[in-house]
């Protein structure tokens, strides 16, 4: 008879809420406790993802959504209650997470993820989960995460069909690799030929069930837990579930070398003293020029509507906002009602008439990536790290 000297530690299932997980040989509760996961979208899918990550004990969760809770959400969203109707979905979901597990630090950010979060946020998060219901949102998450060098987990549901997939830098096809010309055409439908937002454009609602949201949200959460533990995943491959036939199969996407999402950020430089809220255009350009040379300039990465110019010569109107956030109706001249031509740019040189405005006033998101260019030399990416506490100070949020 042989004896083993190995010490066996039996988890205390009566006092430790995570005790059962310790029977999994690869599980590391400390790693989960120290992790930060960003969940974009707090609808049916987002609810399921948040529920599972909270139960698993993921330490910090950031929830982003612009929408409000409606009565129809209550039949598909486990975190919402009748009293949440009319509230922002992210805020309501945060309260639900706290009810499930008070150990988790969680905060809500109200707004469209493509408008309220810069690339530095995705760089600081360990994993991002996409629970959005439109191509534009997925394309933004794909480009932001790949530029930040981080993996993200996408989910999509329709009626009783759904899919979950992981996208990671340099490993298989990405979300944009899956898009065809018809997808880009559909995204452009919400904008006019001059890139202004079409008035009254509304996307259709997608019919789903709570069961398919639970299945796909569960797979997404499981992929997040695998990524956080360093367990192998299959980037660029979708797990597809057909609830009508109970078929489950994988689809592998091709990797396109010329895909725009694969563009590298080059050198990334942290800028703790710069933030979207307080740094002006002139200060940003001056910082870039101090690092790259006096002929350097800033590329915003989006088209800035500088002003409207009336075709009949009436006074121009300074706008200074991303052109996709300005509606077609705003282009009408208040004097003669004729269409005014939008003058736009994506370059800042520090000599603009709005040079003393803060970057955030121009639509630059908190913790954004700002690109500096010098003719003939490699671009450099500057991160507005001064916004870090604005996004990641969970304790301050709880005290409010």
Q: What pLDDT score was predicted for residue 206?
A: 72
Residues 77-82, mean pLDDT to the nearest whole number: 97
Q: What pLDDT score was predicted for residue 191?
A: 65
Q: What pLDDT score was predicted for residue 189?
A: 73
Residues 65-80, mean pLDDT to the nearest whole number: 96
Q: What pLDDT score was predicted for residue 11?
A: 73
Question: Number of C-alpha atoms within 13 angstroms, CB side, residue 198?
Answer: 11
Q: H or E stretch including 62?
A: strand 60-65
Residues 150-174, mean pLDDT to the nearest whole number: 96
**Residue 399 pLDDT more than 90?**
no
| Cα–Cα distance measured from residue 268 to residue 270, given in angstroms and rounded to the nearest whole number | 7
Residues 117-144, mean pLDDT to the nearest whole number: 96
Q: What pLDDT score was predicted for residue 194?
A: 57
Confidence of residue 193 (pLDDT cuts 50, 70, 90): low
**Residue 1 pLDDT more than 70?**
no
**Residues in contact with 286: Cβ distance below 8 Å, sequence separation at least 6, in sequence order:** 350
Q: What pLDDT score was predicted for residue 323?
A: 93
**Residue 400 pLDDT more than 80?**
no
Confidence of residue 267 (pLDDT cuts 50, 70, 90): confident
Q: What pLDDT score was predicted for residue 376?
A: 78
Q: What pLDDT score was predicted for residue 5?
A: 58
Confidence of residue 375 (pLDDT cuts 50, 70, 90): confident
**Residue 351 pLDDT more than 60?**
yes
- Is 310 known to be catalytic? no
Q: How far is CA 299 from the centre of its chain?
A: 21
Q: What pLDDT score was predicted for residue 284?
A: 98
pTM over 0.95: no
**Residue 138 pLDDT more than 90?**
yes
**Which range, of 59-63, 69-73, 193-197, 280-284, averages the lowest pLDDT?**
193-197
Q: What pLDDT score was predicted for residue 341?
A: 93
Active-site hit among 193, 271, 310, 333: 193
**Residue 12 pLDDT more than 60?**
yes
Q: What pLDDT score was predicted for residue 46?
A: 98
The pLDDT tens digits for 305-337 are 999 999 899 999 999 999 989 998 999 999 999
Confidence of residue 115 (pLDDT cuts 50, 70, 90): very high
Percent of the chain past pLDDT 70, that is, above it, reads 92
CATH superfamily ID and name for 19-262: NAD(P)-binding Rossmann-like Domain (3.40.50.720)
Q: What pLDDT score was predicted for residue 201?
A: 55
Please list the residue range(s) of the chain that carry CATH number 3.10.290.
267-399
Residues 151-173, mean pLDDT to the nearest whole number: 96
Q: How far is CA 96 from the centre of its chain?
A: 21
**Residue 185 pLDDT more than 90?**
no
Confidence of residue 8 (pLDDT cuts 50, 70, 90): low
What's domain 267-399's architecture?
Roll (3.10)
The pLDDT tens digits for 24-36 are 989 999 999 999 9
Please list the residue range(s) of the chain that carry CATH number 3.40.50.720.
19-262
Residues 354-377, mean pLDDT to the nearest whole number: 94
Q: What pLDDT score was predicted for residue 398?
A: 47
Residues 184-193, mean pLDDT to the nearest whole number: 74
Residues 107-117, mean pLDDT to the nearest whole number: 95
| Cα–Cα distance measured from residue 188 to residue 210, given in angstroms and rounded to the nearest whole number | 31
Confidence of residue 200 (pLDDT cuts 50, 70, 90): low
**Residue 133 pLDDT more than 70?**
yes
């Amino acid at each position: 008879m042989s004896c083993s000297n190995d010490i066996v530690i039996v988890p205390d299932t009566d006092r430790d809420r995570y005790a059962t997980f310790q029977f999994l040989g690869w599980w590391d509760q400390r790693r989960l406790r120290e992790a930060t996961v960003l969940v974009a979208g707090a609808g049916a899918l987002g609810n399921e993802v948040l529920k599972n990550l909270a139960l698993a004990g993921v330490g910090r969760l950031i929830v982003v959504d612009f929408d409000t809770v409606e009565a129809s959400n209550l039949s598909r969203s486990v975190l919402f209650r009748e009293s949440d109707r009319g509230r922002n979905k992210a805020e309501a979901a945060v309260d639900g997470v706290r009810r499930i597990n008070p150990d988790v630090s969680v905060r809500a950010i109200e707004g469209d993820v493509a408008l309220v979060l810069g690339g530095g946020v995705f760089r600081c998060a360990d994993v991002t989960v996409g629970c959005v219901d439109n191509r534009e949102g997925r394309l933004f998450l794909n480009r932001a995460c790949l530029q930040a060098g981080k993996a993200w987990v996408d989910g999509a549901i329709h009626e009783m069909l759904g899919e979950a997939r992981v996208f990671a830098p340099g490993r298989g096809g990405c979300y944009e690799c899956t898009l065809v010309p018809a997808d880009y055409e559909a995204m452009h439908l919400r904008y006019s030929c001059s890139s202004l937002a079409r008035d009254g454009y509304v996307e259709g609602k997608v019919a789903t069930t709570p069961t398919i949201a639970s299945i796909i949200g569960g797979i997404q959460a499981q992929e997040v837990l695998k990524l956080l533990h360093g367990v192998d995943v299959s980037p660029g491959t979708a797990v597809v579930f057909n609830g009508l036939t109970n078929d489950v199969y994988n689809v592998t996407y091709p990797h396109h070398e010329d895909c725009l999402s694969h563009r590298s950020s080059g050198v990334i430089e942290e800028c703790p003293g710069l933030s979207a809220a307080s740094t002006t255009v002139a200060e940003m350009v001056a910082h870039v020029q101090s690092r790259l040379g006096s002929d350097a300039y800033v590329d915003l990465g989006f088209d800035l509507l500088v002003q409207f110019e009336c075709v009949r010569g009436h006074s121009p109107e300074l706008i200074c906002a991303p052109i996709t956030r300005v509606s077609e109706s705003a282009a009408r001249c208040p004097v003669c009602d004729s269409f005014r031509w939008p003058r736009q740019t994506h370059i800042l040189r520090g000599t603009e008439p709005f040079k003393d405005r803060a970057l955030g006033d121009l639509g630059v998101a908190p913790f954004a990536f700002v690109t500096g260019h010098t003719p003939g030399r490699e671009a450099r990416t500057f991160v507005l790290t001064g916004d870090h506490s604005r996004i990641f100070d969970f304790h301050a949020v709880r005290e409010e």
